[in-house]
Structure 1
Amino acid sequence: MGNLPHFQLFIDGEWTEGSDSQVMTSENPATGQGWATFACASAGDVDRAIAAARRVLDDPEWRDMTQTARGKLLYRLADLVAENAARLGELETTDSGKLLAETSAQTGYVADYYRYFAGLADKVEGTVLPIDKPDMHVFTTREPIGVVAAIVPWNAQMFLTATKLGPALAAGCSVVLKASEIAPAPMLEFARLIEQAGFPPGVVSVITGDAENCAIPLTRHPDIDRIAFTGGPETARHVVRNSAENFAVTSLELGGKSPILVFDDSDLDGAANGLIAGNFGASGQSCVAGTRGLVHRTILEPLIERIEQKASAIRLGDPLHSGTHVGPLCTAAQVRKIEATLATARGQGAVIRFGGAPADRPGNYMTPTLVQCTSPETETLKVEMFGPVMSLLAFDTEEEAIALANSTPYGLGSGIFTQNLARAHRVSKRIRAGICWVNTYRAISPIAPFGGFNQSGYGREAGVEAILDYTRTKTTWISTAQEPMANPFVMR
């Protein structure tokens, strides 16, 4: 173990071990073997990071930095992210099992998120109000909301960090970023870029650790003003309960069981590719995975044939190899959960058209799987599995398709495949989800808001609105009257 790479915490501009000296080992999902160790934060480390974040808000170096200057720091960070995309991608792949082709490309694109928010930094404006009192000059300003607790999961962590850190720093906040203890290496390495970019010590601290010693003390701390959380609904419930201790403004980007509706006028090759992207892309480890495929009955069988044909060419293997399409799952527990869910679905009458079992090789590999369902109550249509499992269910009418699409407590992503423009507008308007892709799937941009409805959370990340969510509005009243204030017992 002593020969493994080791990652430290980054707190108040210093690299440090956890105060209780706890160290965890991270396993490579492709081999099942430990490949690195990392320090874990204790409650005392959380306190130290938050104290630094609170202190720096009153430090003239950060407090009085112009909005334009903050933007320049973010531009510098963006350049460093782009320059180090290959290195960060390799770390993320080794730590989480996600494909190198995706992690390195996504990290490179994440640089554009920081550039987007860098450009918005000096576009946050107040307003002079046309007040109804002629002897008053009244205006609003937007001020940083304060100390932000940003909590990201192990999947798509560079992207999910950018959607929180970018607007928070552009707004002038300070941030304690908690990486998932499952695969934190790329985030702890990313902290080096924050340091190199020149942000003052304490503006950003990067920590990781378990719930009891790290996440709970962070989210319930009285000096936290804003919580930005991405993760599962059950953990989110704990976060919301913890936020009752500090009344922190909270946004939640949670899981999903996103529907993909395929109508009978669809281009079948395009629809098949969309379903494969939505289910087997990222090895199915995506919060917007389109795991509820709803297909018009008249085209179900020919669509399945196309999916089977395309899936036969999928290469499952080492995520560091450029030719691999599907890599391992991040944890062995995910594989076991998928096996159990598929067993339940079989008992409900579902048919496994291909796949359905772990791959016969070392590591946490699950073969790409297609489940043909006979009922909307089939377990694979209800449970978020976070693996390469596609479930298809037939529908007969547009109304039925919409009802099936909305028959879920989630509401993050959705997809529609149709050549009918009127139908695309009509159906997308009625689907209860924060994102709707038409004749495509899993597209992102820093310009486009990202977030869900219902148990997929609330709040939006990316887009112009995001930076405003890290500010508070202050209203300033200035009397321009020549006479002093009159009767103190009458409200103006």
Structure 2
Amino acid sequence: MMRERWPAQCLVDGEWVGKPELPVVNPSSLEEIAKVPDLGEAETEKAIAAAKRAFPAWAGLLAKERSTTLRRWHDLVVQHADELAQILTCEQGKPLSEARGEILYAASFLEFYAEEAKRIYGETIPSHTKDGRIVVIRQPAGVVAAITPWNFPAAMITRKVGPALAAGCTAIVKPAPETPLTAFAFAALGQEAGLPAGVLNIVTGNAHAIGKALCESPDVRVLSFTGSTAVGKLLMAQCAPTVKKLALELGGNAPFIVFDDADIDAAVAGAIASKFRNMGQTCVCANRIYVQDAIYDAFAEKLATEVAQLQVGDGLAEGITQGPLINEAAVAKVEEHIADAVAKGARILTGGTRHELGGTFYKPTVISDVTQSMKVAREETFGPLAPLFRFRGDEDVIAMANDTEFGLAAYFYARDIGRIWRVAEALEYGMVAINSGRLSTELAPFGGIKQSGIGREGSRHGIEEYTELKFMLMAGI
């Protein structure tokens, strides 16, 4: 059944609040599609207080009761997947088929953690005394603050809120200003599924004021953030006085390596899937493509041919595979990286200019003869630019791939099983995809090392971020 109306207000303590003030713009048409509330520190403190009040009762429910509510929420999301995809595409720009895929991916976290709620296990430990027993239990950490990005406005909410609520925590979510409508829609379905007032709160508005309130409040015990490393460091510093638990999924600079024994056609398809998903606006997309000497020219030709056929346009139109970039700053970053590379000797094989559609549409681009001295080797482009680096041997490419402060995701294509094990273990990344251009799933722990973050999301490990261990010694037995 289609809903007649989706909310465009904030959810605080079970009530939809706030006046329409901040515009939400469709990046394809550049038209305003809604206005949302501009809340600040005072309203955020009300949301925190609501979450704190709701926590004891929610945490006190049987795990099966929380599980049932999350499962109902999942079912409603799947039921309304087409409507939610429309909302997502209108405010974020990605093609409708990709948006629907994200909605179902987001739903998968609700399903998974509805099941995992019943599997938060403790342990017994052999005691150090004859009359003692040692028991360890896991308890919900408390109120959770989640700050989510615009590139995956549905999945990044459920990947945090799903495990938090399953564990017995309550939550305040601050979605990105570019994509608040998806957050409101998901919250509305959560309400319909039976989430009590205060268990889930959504606030939009002044990022500095909201972030300050969430970070400084002693009542917020966990902060989960997905976004840039620079902002992640700032949030860490702001959370230090209250010593919160932190779950940070930060920037990436993913290498994509093609060895000379790889299936070239499969590697080309994987590179496109990794690099051009969401117009290259993902933290795990291939940012540096390393190709071994012997197959470099053949791979470059095939990749450029395939990329040139990608269809750019309004994400709501049929057959479109590439939408607009989120804003003008995103386009400027792509242009900066291309200009720097070309000035230092790189060649454009396809694309390299803004699209005829205007606005923030950009042609999917492949450049060759890229070197480690270029900006694209050091900085995350976050756009539809595939730079091709050349390498000779395994040790050379491993050194180049690891030559970054980031360590989120890496990809490589090879067939030799010995090489596969050696390279996979040597790459300094939290996630490595072998012979695949995609690695995200609710079943596996998502996260990075080095300056790409702290903690993991997804899998059974994801729920541990929202629990605290309690050791109990029972003596005199």
Does residue 464 (structure 1) correspond to residue 460 (structure 2)? The answer is yes
Larger gyration radius, structure 1 or structure 2: 1
Moved over 6 A (4+): none
CA shift, 1:218, in A, is: 1.5
Pairwise CA distance, 1:112? 2.0
1:12 equivalent to 2:9? Answer no
Are residues 1:160 and 2:156 paired? Answer: yes
- Does the Cα contact within 8 Å between 1:221 and 1:245 map onto a contact in 2? no
1:322 shift after superposition: 3.1
What corresponds to 1:290 in structure 2? Answer: 286
Q: Contact between 1:6 and 1:38, CA under 8 Å: does it hold in 2?
A: no
Whole-angstrom CA distance in 2 between matches of 1:112 and 1:275: 25
Deviations 1:236-293 (A, max 9, x none): 1111011112111001101111001101111111111111112112111111010100
Equivalent residue in structure 1 for 2:393, among 391, 397, 408? 397
Question: Which residue number corresponds to residue 29 of structure 2?
Answer: 31
Match for residue 252 of structure 1?
248
Alpha-carbon deviations, 1:330-374, whole Å to 9, x = none?
112111221122212222121111111111214310100112134
2:435 equivalent among 435, 439, 455: 439
- Tell whether 2:425 aligns with 1:429: yes
State yes or no: 1:137 paired with 2:133. yes
Looking at structure 2, the residues matched to 257 and 246 of structure 1 have their Cα atoms a distance apart, in angstroms, of 31
> What displacement does 1:22 show?
7.0
Counterpart CA distance in 1 for 2:132 and 2:304 is: 71
Aligned to 1:319: 315
1:6–1:37: 8 Å Cα contact kept in structure 2? Answer: no
Q: Deviations over 1:435-473 (max 9, x none)?
A: 111111123221111001111111100111111221111
Distance in 2 (alpha carbons) for counterparts of 1:6 and 1:467: 29
1:376 to 330, 347, 372: 372
Change (3 A) 1:5 1:106: closer
- Distance in 1 between the 2:433 and 2:124 partners? 39
Shift of residue 317, structure 1, vs aligned partner:
1.0
- Matching of residue 84 in structure 1 with residue 80 in structure 2: yes
Measure the CA separation in 1 of the matches of 2:12 and 2:87: 21
Taking the aligned partners of 1:368 and 1:54, their CA distance within structure 2 comes to 47
Identity %: 33
2:471 to 471, 475, 492: 475
Aligned counterpart, 1:487: none
1:32 CA displacement: 1.6
What's the offset of the Cα at 1:6?
A: 6.9
Residue of structure 1 in register with 2:405 after alignment = 409
Q: Give, in whole Å, the separation in 2 of the partners of 1:446 and 1:23.
A: 35
Partner of 1:489: none
Which of residues 48, 51, 66 is equivalent to 1:50?
A: 48
2:101 to 101, 105, 110: 105
Tell me if the contact between 2:92 and 2:179 (Cα under 8 Å) persists in the aligned partners.
yes
1:419 aligns with 2:433: no
Residue 40 (str. 1) matches residue 38 (str. 2): yes
- How far off is 1:308 after superposition? 1.8
What residue in structure 1 maps to residue 200 of structure 2? 204
Displacement after TM superposition at 1:212 (Å): 1.9
Alignment of 1:447-462 (within 5 A): 447-462=443-458
Aligned to 1:180, which of 167, 172, 176? 176
For 2:417, give the aligned amino acid. Answer: L
C-alpha contact 1:371 1:391 (8 A) present in aligned 2: yes
| Structure-2 separation of matches of 1:137 and 1:397 | 56
Amino acid at match of 2:36: F
Secondary structure of residue in 1 paired with 2:139:
strand
Aligned AA (1:10) = L
Alpha-carbon distance in 1 for matches of 2:134, 2:259: 55
SS in 2 for 1:37: strand
Structure 2-normalised TM-score?
A: 0.96
Q: Distance in 2 between matches of 1:5 and 1:163?
A: 22
Per-residue CA deviations over 1:391-424 (Å, capped at 9, x if unaligned) read 0100001110111110111111111111212211
Whole-angstrom CA distance in 2 between matches of 1:470 and 1:219: 16
SS at match of 2:407: coil
User: Which of 269, 276, 284 is the aligned partner of 2:272?
Assistant: 276
RMSD of aligned residue pairs (Cα, Å): 1.5
- Listed one character per residue, the Cα deviations across residues 193-240 of structure 1 (whole Å, up to 9, x for unaligned) are 110110111011011223222122222222110011100011111110
Residue segments in structure 2 that go unaligned for 5+ positions in a row: none
Contiguous gaps of at least 5 residues in structure 1: 482-492
Q: 1:341 to 1:374 in 2, by over 3 A?
A: closer
Kept in 1: contact 2:252–2:380 (CA 8 A): yes
- Alpha-carbon shift at residue 111 of structure 1 (Å): 1.8
Q: Summarize the alignment of residues 228-243 of structure 1 with structure 2, pairs less than 5 Å apart.
A: 228-243=224-239
Q: State the Cα deviation string for residues 160-204 of structure 1 (Å, max 9, x = none).
A: 112111111111001101100122111111110110110111011
- Count of residues paired in the alignment: 473
